[in-house]
Structure 1
């Protein structure tokens, strides 16, 4: 009896955790293929893919929103890495007097509620003519993505063996050649992980896209919000699944490339 009771409690806890994690996903999948589902039915009364055809029809904005979301995410990754690679290398390799303060500066956009930050950014962008443009959305996403990019890049470069760099310099390689041939290849797994984090953060970013891009720039998170607010749960579920797929794929890649020792160096 004690053994049975000892197994019941862990089993109940595990069951609750599984329900909390996979319950919403199961509900999402059901709504994505439900054509009619009304209370008090526990399952849809009619199944089908009519809403999938409606979402991805030629007259729908889904293709434009998906294209804009992917394009903005790619541009955000390129802009973030262009700034994060030199910044991360300098923070990891140079004896900067206020290194901790510099790292904290990149956390400032995360230290305040996103709504208050983006409202003021939208006001400035309106004055500069950047509201309703893809370039403006990329700028906002880049500010948000630099937090991941700089912190992970600095940890990746800090994990590089200094002996290999010194050996390259001792046989005549200059600073640039040493960086390209020695430092950058060793830091590449961490930089790939940073790029994936920034891509996923940009792909799912709603608040900045709404205040800077809407209504001129169609984005998948905006489409998801509009469908959910309008009670179109099938369309909202389909849009959420489209956003969920790259997140799951890329998180598996991150788990493979981002090592525990690199994570341990973040912020040091």
Structure 2
């Protein structure tokens, strides 16, 4: 009777570690902490009643500061309404200028077209502080300081670069043959623009308007030098609360500014297509 030698098999490891993913996991964890850490801290401050060093978490939680912010005697609702009103007026004025300018830059063979586009970057090319100080001095001579009109004009100069560049890209992405086909069957230039080009460029124009709205909603420096203290906006309230040590009110105000920004960016991501983005600056 032959004996078959039995060689015991090596036990398999129950959990195999892929060391290749360890540095990636560390990097992703650091990125998540950088992104969500401040947001978590912000959310904690909005419900913190008492929180001081060296405690890692708030000692008491509550919503009393929300009541203070939205109380009739508080200034948050006035600041919110002012911010929305100024941002809406800024969008109307900026788009009224950007739509014809973007269409002309996209369709007409203008001399120095690249230079014209670059001129809209001039407000972005210099530090905001000296620019707005000089604007405030000029506006004071015309009685625009401390007025909604003055704040809107400042916001328009700052947001016009987004409006014109994206509007130009939106109209550039529309095939010119579609307009020519409309013209060939009897449509005039205005009707061809209204019925063909404008509807096709509408998603890009909507994204442009959202960018201008968010830029105006978050604008602080221009609002401070031109509008304060007569035109109070949410960024000004945020600055006042944080500089005074009212971190709960500042965090609630920051959250009010964050919510529309995040929501609108999802809309922009949906409507601003790659064909429009490829035309930006061209």
Pair in the same fold by TM > 0.5? yes
TM-score, normalising length: structure 2:
0.94
CA distance, structure 2, for counterparts of residue 33 and residue 151 of structure 1: 41
Decide which of 170, 181, 185 is 1:167's aligned counterpart: 181
Correspondence 1:115-130 to 2 at 5 A: 115-130=129-144
Aligned to 2:229: 215
Shift in Å, 1:264: 1.1
RMSD of equivalent CA atoms: 1.0
Instruction: Give SS of 2:49's match.
Output: strand
The one-character-per-residue Cα deviations of 1:101-149 (angstroms, maximum 9, x if unpaired) are: 0000000000000001000000000010000000000000000110000
* Structure with max Cα Rg: 2
TM-score, normalising length: structure 1:
0.99
Shift in Å, 1:40: 1.0
Which ranges in structure 1 are unaligned for 5 or more consecutive residues? none
Instruction: Give SS of 1:129's match.
Output: coil
Correspondence 1:27-106 to 2 at 5 A: 27-106=41-120
Greater helix share, structure number: 1
CA distance, structure 2, for counterparts of residue 252 and residue 59 of structure 1: 34
CA distance, structure 2, for counterparts of residue 168 and residue 7 of structure 1: 57
CA distance, structure 2, for counterparts of residue 197 and residue 253 of structure 1: 11
Instruction: Give SS of 1:239's match.
Output: helix
Decide which of 228, 243, 251 is 1:237's aligned counterpart: 251
Shift in Å, 1:3: 5.2
Moved over 4 A (4+): none
Aligned to 1:225: 239
Shift in Å, 1:4: 2.7
The one-character-per-residue Cα deviations of 1:35-64 (angstroms, maximum 9, x if unpaired) are: 000111110000000000001100011111
CA distance, structure 2, for counterparts of residue 49 and residue 80 of structure 1: 39
Aligned to 1:255: 269
